[in-house]
A and B are shown apart, each in its own frame.
Chain A
């Protein structure tokens, strides 16, 4: 069975500092990997995804993530945090079967200090 672990329910950074949100997955075969962002009382917006090919994936709003098979990780980073980045971030996986079901991590709330 697949699972996703996000270390740290809350991460606080200063504006302009590096953002690092951690995600580890458990799967018998490398899954599809996703990062979504959720603003209060809204749905989810896709930041980036990894399905195949280059392991460093660039997404919207300056975010990127690197798939590391040996570490079963897909950490999300952004070089310089902006106040507007404050939100809830979810890592998710789906299998490479035909169901395309998403399994979400518990989420990490990013706080950006002025």
Chain B
């Protein structure tokens, strides 16, 4: 149990376009979903935290107008990278926790974004 999926797994886009990444909890209802960014050979950095029906809480230094997060249901959160630029190229990973085990996050497989 506690499976999280992400779609797409890889995406290549042109500079200036927007890209949407989906994160789904497949077999449980997520209380909170988290979005991370990971640069090559580096650790994960938390970008934002979101709860269903509420505005996302962004970490310091993360542009909320550039990284739009929508948490429409208890099983789906989306991250939209608006007007993408090459420096936005990265590995984006989402995670989710559930009511019964708030102290544990279950991670998706990640989305590799390449902006040309």
Contact = CB atoms under 8 A, between A and B. Distances in A.
B35 to A, nearest CB: 12
Contacts of B64: none
Interface string B1-12: 000101000000
A41 to B, nearest CB: 7
A67 to B, nearest CB: 14
A46 interface: yes
A13 B57 CA distance: 41
A59 B32 CA distance: 24
Interface residues of A, number: 22
B34 A102 contact: yes
A45 interface: yes
Contact of A46 (B32, B44, B104, B112): B104
A101 interface: yes
Interface residues of B, number: 24
Interface in B46-84: 46, 49
Nearest to A36: B107
B109 A101 contact: no
Contacts of A34: 104
B105 interface: yes
Nearest to A109: B41
B110 A43 contact: yes
Contacts of B44: 44, 90, 102, 104
Given A43-B110, A44-B44, A45-B107, 10 more contacts: A43-B6, A43-B95, A44-B93, A44-B107, A46-B106, A49-B103, A100-B32, A102-B44, A107-B42, A107-B43
Nearest 10 pairs of A and B residues by beta carbon: A43-B107, A44-B107, A43-B109, A104-B43, A104-B44, A43-B110, A106-B43, A43-B108, A32-B103, A107-B43
28 contacts: A32-B103, A34-B104, A36-B107, A41-B91, A42-B110, A43-B4, A43-B6, A43-B108, A43-B110, A44-B93, A44-B95, A44-B107, A45-B107, A90-B43, A90-B44, A94-B103, A99-B49, A100-B32, A100-B97, A100-B102, A100-B103, A102-B105, A103-B46, A104-B44, A104-B45, A105-B43, A106-B42, A107-B43
